Amino acid sequence: MTQWVRFRSADGHIGFGGLGRDQILEYAGDMYGAHAATGKLLPLAAVTLLCPCSPSKIIALWNNFHALAVKLGKAAPKYPLFLLKPASCSIGPGESIRRPAAYAGKIAYEGELGIVIGKACKNVAAEEASKYIFGYTCVNDVTASGVLNDNPNFAQWCRAKGYDTFGCIGPAITSDLEWSTLNVVTRVDGVERQNYPLRDMIFPPHELVSHLSHDMSLLPGDVIACGTSVGVGSVKDGSTVEIAIDGIGVLANRLRADDI
């Protein structure tokens, strides 16, 4: 089990490596392919952690937890239901979520497990799918709730969830994570708002990768956000949302209202 991180050091160097207790063991090469340790150890306090991957797309699941399906009165789907978030929305740990300039409505957090793809794949069988998974990360699938149903004829999923900074990813990508025993915990300003078991997933990771690889080519660094469960709510300007999964870490992002 390695916790992979990407970082920028004080001199502007961008690198990646494996996370230790309070330092990073730097690697060189391709994070998803051939790589080797450089031997260099960087104190965690001396670097800025970045979004741990550069997805070409973020596939976000809807209605993928039994508990939330029951609460919403929706049948469990027979096939994964998803929308796309653009690569341009992704940010890393510690970066600010920015309120869109022209939007004064509610902004919701959704704590989720993220699958990070390690090898390009297409039309993969479920029993083969795990080998295309590089690892797992935390995702905050941020949503401008007021935009979603603003038009009666068309649910605006991609717009409501696609704003710059609305795809929070990190802090690490953990390989060989035993996700089935873990919970996703979401805290807003330190107060727990979600705490749900990942074993309640309708389509587990290997089935998601298999199904979605029949819908489109999946590429290294692509992120599949596995959907959220009960406890979704809104976050106030200035508040900090933390998504925590044991073995991955805590993804913290503050909502800022002032425009760029």
Please give the C-alpha separations between residue 158 and each of 143, 148, 155, 164, 211, in angstroms, as whole numbers: 10, 9, 9, 12, 20
Please give the C-alpha separations between residue 133 and each of 6, 116, 129, 206, in angstroms, as whole numbers: 18, 6, 7, 8
Binding of a copy of itself by 203 (CB under 8 A)? no
Binding of a copy of itself by 36 (CB under 8 A)? no
Select from 23, 66, 94, 100 the one that contacts a copy of itself (CB under 8 A): 100
Select from 38, 130, 149, 151 the one that contacts a copy of itself (CB under 8 A): 151
* 8 A C-beta contact, residue 44 and residue 23: yes
Residues 43-72 that bind a copy of itself (CB under 8 A): 56-57, 62-63
The distance of closest approach from Cβ of residue 102 to a copy of itself in the complex, given in angstroms and rounded to an integer, is 6
Select from 219, 230, 247, 254 the one that contacts a copy of itself (CB under 8 A): 219
Structure tokens at 152: 């009666």
End-to-end alpha-carbon separation of the chain, Å?
Answer: 38
Structure tokens at 238: 């200035």
Binding of a copy of itself by 156 (CB under 8 A)? yes
Binding of a copy of itself by 102 (CB under 8 A)? yes
Q: Are strands 90-91 and 167-174 parallel, antiparallel or unpaired?
A: parallel
Binding of a copy of itself by 229 (CB under 8 A)? no
Select from 34, 36, 45, 101 the one that contacts a copy of itself (CB under 8 A): 101
Binding of a copy of itself by 138 (CB under 8 A)? no
Please give the C-alpha separations between residue 253 and each of 93, 171, 237, in angstroms, as whole numbers: 6, 11, 11
Binding of a copy of itself by 126 (CB under 8 A)? no
Q: How far apart are CA 43 and CA 258, in angstroms?
A: 32
Select from 30, 176, 178, 215 the one that contacts a copy of itself (CB under 8 A): 215
Question: Interface with a copy of itself by CB under 8 A: which residues?
Answer: 56-57, 62-63, 74-75, 77-79, 81-89, 100-102, 122-123, 150-151, 153-159, 162-164, 214-217, 219, 259-260
